[in-house]
């Protein structure tokens, strides 16, 4: 199960990366702890214990039950999740090398979700997850940051600012991200 308070893990297996990518998609705009539990329940209902998360998705697609299962576990945003979950299946066996551009090519995965996945699953990734917590923190540091995730152009500007702030504090971007998230999530 995904533990939102210890989200960074650079040694995930391919199956763990599959689960983490599904979590990254699922958690967008929602409460992390709640969504982690829902995802665990959703994945634990697989009739084949040896299936990876993507194999479970493929099974649900094959049996035409994916939407019904998502509804049973109240994952929400069913249309967005359906499209995104179907799209990520093309990355099976490739998650250790998938790029931000690859991820953003999937409908339902934006800048924030793609960066969240990479930042917390690959060491030394220099990106920022501009969620509401980070944006609020940036405003508190005196930067002109919006309240919601900005457009790509503004995202790039704020991402550089966040990375500079991490460098000034001599902290990895993933660690600063988690530190900020924990301080605002409580």
CATH code where residue 165 lies: 1.10.1670.10
Same domain assignment for residues 167 and 105: no
CATH number at residue 85: 1.10.340
Same domain assignment for residues 117 and 150: no
Same domain assignment for residues 24 and 57: yes
Task: Report d(CA 122, CA 139) in Å as an integer.
Answer: 27
Same domain assignment for residues 86 and 113: yes
152-178 pLDDT, tens per residue? Answer: 899 999 999 999 999 999 999 999 999
Q: Are 6 and 91 in contact (CB under 8 A)?
A: no
Q: 3-state DSSP call for residue 62?
A: helix
Among residues 156, 138, 1, the alpha carbon closest in space to that of 147 is found at 138
- How far CA 15 is from CA of 104, 133, 177, in Å, comes to 21, 29, 24
Same domain assignment for residues 85 and 135: no
Same domain assignment for residues 67 and 155: no
Instruction: Provide the domain limits for residue 139.
Output: 126-186
* Domain count across the chain: 2
Global pTM exceeds 0.75 = yes
Could you say which of 109, 125, 141 is where a domain stops?
125
Could you say which of 125, 150, 166 is where a domain stops?
125
Same domain assignment for residues 118 and 130: no
The confidence score (pLDDT) of residue 30 equals 85
Task: Report d(CA 103, CA 5) in Å as an integer.
Answer: 24
Task: Report d(CA 120, CA 115) in Å as an integer.
Answer: 8
Mean pLDDT, 10 residues at a time, the chain of 186 residues: 90 96 92 93 84 95 96 95 97 96 96 95 93 94 94 92 96 93 82
The mean pLDDT of the chain is 93
| Percent helix, strand and coil across the chain, each to the nearest 5 | 60, 0, 40
Task: Report d(CA 82, CA 107) in Å as an integer.
Answer: 10
Could you say which of 85, 108, 125 is where a domain stops?
125
Same domain assignment for residues 56 and 36: yes
């Amino acid at each position: 199960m995904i533990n939102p308070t210890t989200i960074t893990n650079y040694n995930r297996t391919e199956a763990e990366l599959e689960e983490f990518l599904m979590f990254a998609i699922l958690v967008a705009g929602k409460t992390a702890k709640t969504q982690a539990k829902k995802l665990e329940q959703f994945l634990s209902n697989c009739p084949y214990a040896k299936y990876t998360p993507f194999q479970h998705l493929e099974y649900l697609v094959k049996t035409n039950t994916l939407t019904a299962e998502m509804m049973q576990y109240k994952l929400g945003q069913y249309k967005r999740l359906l499209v995104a979950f179907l799209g990520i299946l093309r990355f099976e066996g490739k998650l250790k090398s998938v790029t931000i551009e690859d991820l953003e090519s999937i409908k339902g995965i934006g800048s924030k979700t793609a960066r969240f996945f990479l930042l917390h699953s690959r060491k030394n990734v220099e990106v920022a997850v501009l969620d509401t917590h980070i944006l609020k923190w940036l405003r508190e540091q005196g930067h002109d940051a919006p309240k919601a995730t900005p457009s790509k152009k503004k995202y790039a500007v704020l991402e550089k600012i966040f990375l500079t702030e991490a460098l000034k504090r001599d902290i990895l971007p993933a660690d600063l991200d988690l530190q900020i998230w924990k301080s605002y999530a409580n």
